[in-house]
Amino acid sequence: MPYLKPEQPEKVTAPSLKASKARGERMVCLTAYDYPTARIVDEAGIDIILVGDSLGNVVLGYGNTVPVTLDDILIHVKAVRRGVQRALLVADMPYGSFHTGADDTVRAALRLVKESGAEAVKLVNEEISGMGHIGLTPQLINQLGAYRVKGKTADAARKLLDDAYALEEAGAFAIVLELVPREIAELITNSIHIPTIGIGAGVHCDIQVLVFHDLLGMAFGKLPRFVREYANLRETITDAVTRWAEDVRNGSYPSEQESYGLPADAAAELKIEIKKVRSRKKAQKAGSKRSVALGSDSFY
């Protein structure tokens, strides 16, 4: 399907998302972790760019998001910041950055805003715009044991709805719903005034988000069923890298067009120079052989 340009090319802000929801617009959010991806994603008109702690899985090679540190997120948000103009730039608060009290949490959020240029953070509620995250929260993998759909019982569904109300009440500007049944996501979306951002939560959320590497086929391991791969860049990259290595090994890369030659007069001068060096070396070799021969004569 061709890319649909956003209705509003203006800068996306936390308040403009709420207005977009009120107008019934569908919006899009994607993760990015570095400058080139951020530029591509922003120039494609994606509304929200999230430097998620999924960084741990898809870029840093950890098995989950728990080891990701605030410093990791800071470095990646700085790089992404340089590539983003229109989208709202949101930084994830990594595991451990909001567990030791409100002051520490705000301090960590302030660092993300001041030092790296994030415009909002995911999780906290202070003067800084906050995005909530309910349903499956991968940071809690050690407590959960496995990634499973949340809210499958009436009780669990009610708890999710209560959490969504509480986050709205606390001033969150949007809420991520991860891996929750689509009926619950629809109920929550229709019950609150701030946008819901769905990942594995069905079509009724106001905004959809996917992890960039999953969308492009650059992730390893089994993907959850909510991911639709729009490209297989892993295959494309493997093919390109393999062909390049082959070309280097068989001598067909670099070609003359892919390297630089000397101008004819300089080449002629160089030829003469090389000849001189060779004959000087030949003379030196002959000289040293003669002195060895003389030395052995005198010894016997």
Half-sphere exposure for 81 (CA within 13 Å, toward CB): 16
The interface mask with ligand KIV, positions 76-105, x = CB under 6 A, is ----------------x-------------
Q: Which of 199, 201, 207, 219 binds ligand KIV (CB under 6 A)?
A: 199
Q: How far is the CB of 258 from ligand KIV (least distance, A)?
A: 39
For residues 27 and 205, what is the distance between their CA atoms, to the nearest angstrom? Answer: 9
Q: Does 53 bind ligand KIV (CB under 6 A)?
A: yes
Considering the complex, state which of residue 42 and residue 92 has its C-beta at the smaller distance from ligand KIV.
Answer: 92
Q: Is 178 a catalytic residue?
A: yes
Residues 178, 183, 269, 273: which is the catalytic one?
A: 178
Residues with Cβ < 8 Å from 14, sequence gap 6 or more? 88, 119, 120, 129, 173, 174
Q: How far is the CB of 122 from ligand KIV (least distance, A)?
A: 7
Going from the C-alpha of 213 to that of each of 30, 61, 216, 248, 298, the distances in angstroms are 10, 12, 5, 29, 78
User: Do you know the residue count of the chain?
Assistant: 300
209 binds ligand KIV (CB under 6 A): yes
The answer to whether residue 31 forms part of the interface with ligand KIV (CB under 6 A) is yes
Piece of 51-59, 97-105, 236-244, 247-255 that binds ligand KIV (CB under 6 A)? 51-59
Mention every residue, 6+ apart, whose C-beta is less than 8 A from residue 235.
217
Question: CA–CA separation, 257 vs 104, rounded Å?
Answer: 58
Nearer to ligand KIV, 71 or 247 (CB): 71
Contacts with ligand KIV: how many residues (CB under 6 A)? 10
Helix pair 154-169, 182-191: axis angle to 10 deg: 30
Residues near ligand KIV, by CB under 6 A: 31, 50, 52-54, 92, 176, 199, 209, 211
